[in-house]
Amino acid sequence: DLEGGAPDNVAVQDPYANEPKRHRSLVVRTDKPFNAEPPLELLAATPLTANDFFYIRNHLPVPHVNATTYKLRVEGEGMRAVELTLKDLQTKFKKHTVAATLQCSGNRRAELNSVKAIKGLTWDTGAIGTAEFAGVRLRDVLQYAGLDAESDQAVQHIQFEGLDSDVSGDCYGASIPIEKAVSPFGDVLLAYEMNGRALPLDHGFPLRVVAPGITGARSVKWLSRIIASKEESKSHWQQKDYKSFSPMVDWDNVDWSSAPAIQETNVTSAIVSPSPNDSIEGPTDVVSVKGWAFSGGGQAVIRVDVSADGGATWTSAELNPVSGKTLRRAWAWTLWEAEVE
């Protein structure tokens, strides 16, 4: 499925030789694989994040997929095996649009590191972004393949495999729980558009999972295969990464099997303006503070309180909930602004 025929000599030597072009303003955390976040002053300046400034979290080289020959394979417990072309997905299934925030599990790790050093990419607060994704509902595709999750309790997880793979051929993989996958209120997409355009190469062209309210690592890009199963994905990233542990556990004594894979994310909020250490000049005694807030699981952010005096007094921020007034399908972040004395 490589685009443009046989790779040239450079590509044989360096699996990262064919990486896409990226916007030069992105703050690069690692080059290979490519991981980058936008400059924070751009983050949350608008309700939707422009595709060019959406954080990129790749685990492997970016695969170049031919959209014409691309096929998605759907198989597993209680289903017939099905192959679907991109055209099949775009013509045989209803198109749905969901404004969703995706966030890397490691977002804000720089702040954690400032308390106690931990492993992982040193993200600032920008490994998060919001886009309008469009595509088909995962549950519609699973139903098309014959899955009846209510009667067939054998299926507990929906696994995803990406076309991105390492030198040994192992591909990126993840899974989400069946409840999320098949819920009529879960809004999990197989997305082929991002903010009205075809998915960018870095964001999973031609098809990716968008599992809103779930940590970004489960929204598999360059999707090749969906597997209904009793088990979670056996991938490294489901089993031995993206988990959280007691403060007494570190990389030398960790028992990975003792913790569940992260799915729905905690509520979190960050200030985007002013920046840390900004000095505010002039005669004003009121400072305008802006930021974003987001909670996993579709839970709406119902209030953001800001204090500039260590908690003695609080100002409730004006909220701009990008998902609107919904309380339980709030898949997108809430931008907020407060005038603080």
Report the distance separating Cα 225 and Cα 222, nearest Å.
Answer: 9
- Residue 104 near which of Mo ion, a second copy, none (CB within 5-8 Å, type-dependent): Mo ion
Q: CB of 123: closest distance to a second copy in angstroms?
A: 23
Cβ pair 222, 164 in contact under 8 A? yes
CA-closest candidate to residue 195, choices 84, 289, 102: 102
Decide: is 102 part of the binding site for Mo ion (CB under 5 A).
Answer: no
Q: Which of 26, 36, 84, 104 binds Mo ion (CB under 5 A)?
A: 104
Interactions with a second copy, residue window 250-269 (CB under 8 A): 259-260, 263-264
Size of the site for Mo ion (CB under 5 A): 5
**Stretch of residues binding a second copy (CB under 8 A), selected from 28-36, 77-85, 216-224, 312-320:** 312-320
By rule CB under 8 A, what string of x and - marks binding of each residue 47-86 to a second copy? ----------------------------------------
For position 118 contacting a second copy by CB under 8 A, the verdict is no
Give CA–CA dist 245/249, Å, rounded: 6
3-class secondary-structure state, position 110: helix
Residue 247 touching a second copy (CB under 8 A):
yes
One residue of 8, 14, 170, 305 binding a second copy per CB under 8 A: 305
Residue 186 three-state SS: coil
246 binds a second copy (CB under 8 A): yes
Q: Which residues pair with 193 in a beta bridge?
A: 134, 198
Asked if 37 and 216 count as a contact pair (C-beta separation under 8 A), the reply is no
Give the nearer residue to a second copy in terms of CB position, either 126 or 297. 297
Which lies closer to a second copy via its Cβ, residue 6 or residue 248?
248
Q: Figure out which of the listed residues 297, 321, 322, 332 binds a second copy, where binding follows CB under 8 A.
A: 297
280 binds, among a second copy, Mo ion, none (CB under 5 to 8 A by kind): none
Residue 237, CB-side half-sphere exposure with 13 Å CA sphere? 27
CA 180, 96, 38, 14: dihedral to nearest 10 degrees? 80
Which x/- pattern, by CB under 8 A, does the window 178-217 give for a second copy?
-x---xxx--------------------------------
Residues in the chain: 341
Task: Judge whether 179 and 36 are in contact, CB under 8 Å.
Answer: no
Segment lying near a second copy (by CB under 8 A), choices 109-117, 160-168, 299-307, 333-341: 299-307
Beta-carbon contacts of 62 under 8 Å, excluding residues fewer than 6 positions away, are 18, 19, 20, 34, 164, 201, 202, 222
Nearest to 99 by CA among 55, 54, 134, 139: 134
Q: What residue ranges bind a second copy (CB under 8 A)?
A: 149-150, 177, 179, 183-185, 245-248, 259-260, 263-264, 297, 299-300, 302-303, 305, 313-316, 327-329
Q: What residue ranges bind Mo ion (CB under 5 A)?
A: 57, 104-105, 216-217
